[in-house]
Structure 1
């Protein structure tokens, strides 16, 4: 993971700051279909907890191990939409340990999220990485960022940072090696050509 700073690796799949107002409005605004799903939950704590998980996975590309580890601005934005006067009621959401996991399962089904190892999507992802590495001259970090964007767009839950970094580095190294072979071959051909 030498192409990621410690700060970048630590912030992977987590909130590092509160999303901007534009991001809140784009990702955390609950539409009618979201509201129908959220309103199926009993209790304000379950409604806001479900909404947090629903919007967090859309924003980060993963579920948080602690579903309450979100910036206060995100919680307040969702609570306001749900007419929940006291956002701190969300603390009760994790009292029943199974609830967040059950909600994650429902959200996966609802929005079509799959695990990173899902056979068809993993194959598509590998093809994307290979094609991107061969078609663009970019750093491993840029390829990593493109990989994260692809996974989020295709609703594949992000793997751990080291797993994704290794895959990206492998593809990037293959490209660099192939480019070196082409460059050396070109030099040999150029030196052998008649003057």
Structure 2
């Protein structure tokens, strides 16, 4: 059975991918003087750019850049401009995996952020259920979960993990809603309602 999805490809990209619109890129990826001072401690241009890109991703969308992932060209060009280097320098970043992990560790400490953990699951499920009570739209439910994590400086897990939780939360909320509809109704009324579902063979 193919996996079920609660998000369309467009909604998933909007929630989990870096923006491509110029105004959004400027809003999310303009570095402060403190950011720039930290970034410029790296010696090589490639390391400065890679470090800056990691900082950008951790802030928004709020996750970790994949080991083999390349940032959108518009985002990379804007960040490289602030670094005074070329976007092409990124291709030589992270040749040592240790460098990447060292940078991520330093940046998580700088941002006071941490990875998503199993203990966070209960609170995220609660946020999903609260949203599903008011709207069962998948993008609204996942967006509420993401907002909950961002407020607590918890890095986003893979989109598939949050979608799975959102599907379960929506199913549970619907089940509760259906139950509430018939709670307190006399058995005769319930039987009459069920009879409406019977299809006459003729």
Using the size of structure 1 for normalisation, the TM-score is 0.81
Query: Would you say 1:112 and 2:115 are equivalent positions?
Result: no
For 2:34 and 2:111, the matched residues in 1 are separated by: 11
Bigger radius of gyration among the two: 2
Measured against aligned partners, the alpha-carbon deviations of 1:55-111 in whole angstroms (never above 9, x if no partner) come to: 022222211223651111111111111222x32122221222211111111111111
Runs of 4 or more above 3 Å deviation: 5-15, 121-124, 186-192
Q: CA deviation at 1:184?
A: 1.7
8 Å Cα contact 2:146-2:156 kept in structure 1: yes
8 Å Cα contact 1:67-1:100 kept in structure 2: no
Task: Tell me how many residue pairs correspond in the alignment.
Answer: 187
Q: Secondary structure at the match of 1:65?
A: coil
* 2:139 aligned residue: 141
2:7 counterpart (4, 15, 18): 4
8 Å Cα contact 1:53-1:67 kept in structure 2: no
Query: Would you say 1:150 and 2:148 are equivalent positions?
Result: yes
* 1:92 aligned residue: 92
* 1:181 aligned residue: 179
* 2:35 aligned residue: 34
Q: Unpaired segments of 5 or more residues in structure 1?
A: none
For 2:103 and 2:68, the matched residues in 1 are separated by: 11
Q: Mean alpha-carbon deviation: is it higher for 148-157 or for 47-56? A: 148-157
